[in-house]
Amino acid sequence: MIIGQKKAFPASRILWILALVLLVIILGAGPGVHLGFWTPFEGFMFSLWAGFFGGLSIAGLAVAVIIILFMSPGKAGIGITVLSLVIGLGLAAPVSYLRLSGGGGVVPIHDITTNMDSPPEFMVLVGKRGKGANSLIYNPQRLVDLQKKAYPDIKPLLTPVAADKAFSRALKVAEAMGWTVTGIDARARRFEATDHSFWFNFADDIVVVIKKTTNGSRIDMRSISRVGVSDLGVNADRIRNFQKKFIQAS
C-alpha cells in the first residue's frame, strides 16, 4: 500500500514540455508565412511533416511513459502524459489522413472552371503570380474528365439578370468575399482576382466573365491555385460559394 503524495515522474513533465513546444512551433508556421520567413508552400509542408514525424515521436514516447507509470504505481504524471499522447496523435493525424485517403479523397487537380470547352483566360495576372507558379494554360486532356467525375455540379451560372447589372453584382460579390480584384474590364464584362487563405496565405487566382444571353446573362469562372498539385477541393468550393452569394444578392 502506497501512503502519501505520489512523486512526479520527470519523464512525464519533460514529454509534456516537448509536446507543447512542438505544438507552438507547428502553429507558428502560418504566422511565419505572413511575416515573410518562408513561402506558403514551405510553411504548409513544414507544418505537415514536422507534425507527422514529431507527433509520432511524442506519441511513441508517451506510450512508453504510460507503460512505465502503470508499472510504477508510486509515480504521478499519467494525466499530462495522456495529454501529450493526444497532442502527438493530433499533430500526426493530417498526414496520416492524407496518405490513407489517397490525398484527402479529392482528385489531384487545382484548375477548376465552369466552362471546360472554352475556359476563361487570364490576361492581367499573367507573369505576376510569382516564380514557379502553376501554369495558366488549361490542359483539357488531363483536367476535363477528372473535373466531370469529381465536381459534376460545377457549371455556368445562368441568371435572368441583365449582363451589365450582373457584372456589377459579380464585382460586389467578389469584393465582399475578400478577393483582391484586378483587371476590371466593364466593356468586356470580365475581371480577375486573387484570394488568399487565412493561415498559410496561399494564393488562388480567379477570372470571371459575364456574357449576354437571350434570357439574361451567363457567368463563367475559373479558379486556379498558384502552387501545389491538389487544391483539396478549395477551388470548386470557391466557385460554389461565389454562385450562391451571387444568387442571394438578388
pLDDT in tens, 188-239: 999 999 999 999 999 999 999 999 999 999 999 999 999 999 999 999 999 9
Average pLDDT of the residues in 115-134: 95
Q: What is the pLDDT of residues 13-60, one digit of tens each?
A: 999 999 999 999 999 999 999 999 999 999 999 999 999 999 999 999
pTM: 0.86
Sequence-distant (≥ 6) Cβ neighbours of residue 7 within 8 angstroms = 74, 75, 76
Residue-level pLDDT at 213: 97
Q: Is the pLDDT of residue 245 over 80?
A: yes
Residues 59, 27: contact at Cβ < 8 Å? no
Question: What is the average per-residue pLDDT within 145-164?
Answer: 97
| Phi and psi torsions of 80, nearest 5° | -70, -25
Q: CA distances (Å), 32 to each of 21, 25, 124, 201, in order?
A: 16, 10, 29, 10
User: Where in the chain does DSSP place strands (E)?
Assistant: 7-8, 75-76, 111-113, 157-159, 180-185, 190-196, 203-213, 216-225
Query: Is pLDDT at 2 greater than 80 in this prediction?
Result: no
Distance CA 224, CA 122 (A): 10
Rounded Cα distance between 136 and 145, Å, is 18
pLDDT grade for 5, boundaries at 50, 70 and 90:
low
